[in-house]
Amino acid sequence: AQKITQTQPGMFVQEKEAVTLDCTYDTSDQSYGLFWYKQPSSGEMIFLIYQGSYDEQNATEGRYSLNFQKARKSANLVISASQLGDSAMYFCAMRERDTGRRALTFGSGTRLQVQP
Amino acid sequence: ETGVTQTPRHLVMGMTNKKSLKCEQHLGHNAMYWYKQSAKKPLELMFVYNFKEQTENNSVPSRFSPECPNSSHLFLHLHTLQPEDSALYLCASSHAGQGEVGETQYFGPGTRLLVL
């Protein structure tokens, strides 16, 4: 089974509107971390936001927030007030404590296009 | 220079060539990573180095040879590659704690490799 599932290959949003990018994950570990990265066409992966499995509050970073629903194993990224510069690929990723691995497991990504 | 840098940004090589990719991090981190991003596939971990020691090798073919002379530099030596090795190669670094799931990885801009 896939560890990280992003079911939306592509999304469109109007400038200044909010958009939600979906991410579901699969783990039996009690301690894990969830990350979102943005990848513009230039290629660099830019860290956006982090949510720990024991964090009681949803993470927020400026216009980014994470809608964390632990029981449903979902960690959706919400971008408020979309800007043209938000057009990019967005990846959800996870690290599990019990595997002992440092590396992140990534989803297949969602391409977001912001329209003027 | 700040963050994580990678050179070259673009590389075209024949199947009989030998080339090297270079990564340097200016963040004071002690763990470094190589990831491969092929078209329409999630990022795949290749290698992890922690304090210059290789700690993870994700069954990477021997035509890819990593080298980590110190905590700031990471190389990927390439020889007799195949056309299917064409991809974006991303380097990342992090501050390795004691099994912390929230350890954030910061990425370089990547090297776009084309094997002819």
The 10s digit of each residue's pLDDT in B2-58 is: 799 999 999 999 988 899 999 999 999 999 999 999 987 889 999 999 888 888 888
Nearest residue to B93 (alpha-carbon basis) of A47, A59, A25, A85: A47
Average pLDDT over residues B64-71: 94
What pLDDT score was predicted for residue B56?
Answer: 84
- Chain A interface test: which of B30, B43, B88, B90 (most A C-beta within 10 Å): B43
In this structure, what is the dihedral angle of CA atoms A97, A23, A46, B29, given to the nearest 10 degrees?
0
Residue pLDDT, tens place only, A41-55: 988 999 999 999 999
Mean pLDDT of A23-33: 94
- Long-range contact set of residues A100-103: C-beta below 8 Å, sequence gap at least 24: A100/B99, A101/B48, A101/B56, A102/B31, A102/B33, A102/B48, A102/B50, A102/B55, A102/B56, A102/B94, A102/B96, A102/B103, A103/B33, A103/B45, A103/B48, A103/B56, A103/B58
Split at pLDDT 50, 70, 90, the class of B1 is low
Q: Write down the pLDDT at residue B96.
A: 75
Q: Please, which pLDDT band fits residue B100 given cuts at 50, 70 and 90?
A: confident
Closest Cβ–Cβ partner in A44, A91, A107 for B108: A44
A1 has a pLDDT exceeding 70 = no
B92 touches A at CB < 8 Å: yes
Mean pLDDT confidence for B62-85: 95
Residue B98, pLDDT score: 58
Chain A to chain B, count of Cβ pairs less than 8 Å apart? 68
Partner A contacted by B96 (CB < 8 A): yes
Q: Is the pLDDT of residue B86 over 80?
A: yes
Is residue A100 pLDDT above 80, yes or no? no
Cα A103 vs. chain centroid, distance in angstroms? 16
Which amino acid is located at B107 in the chain?
F
Does A10 have pLDDT greater than 80?
A: yes
One-letter amino acid identity for A104?
A: L
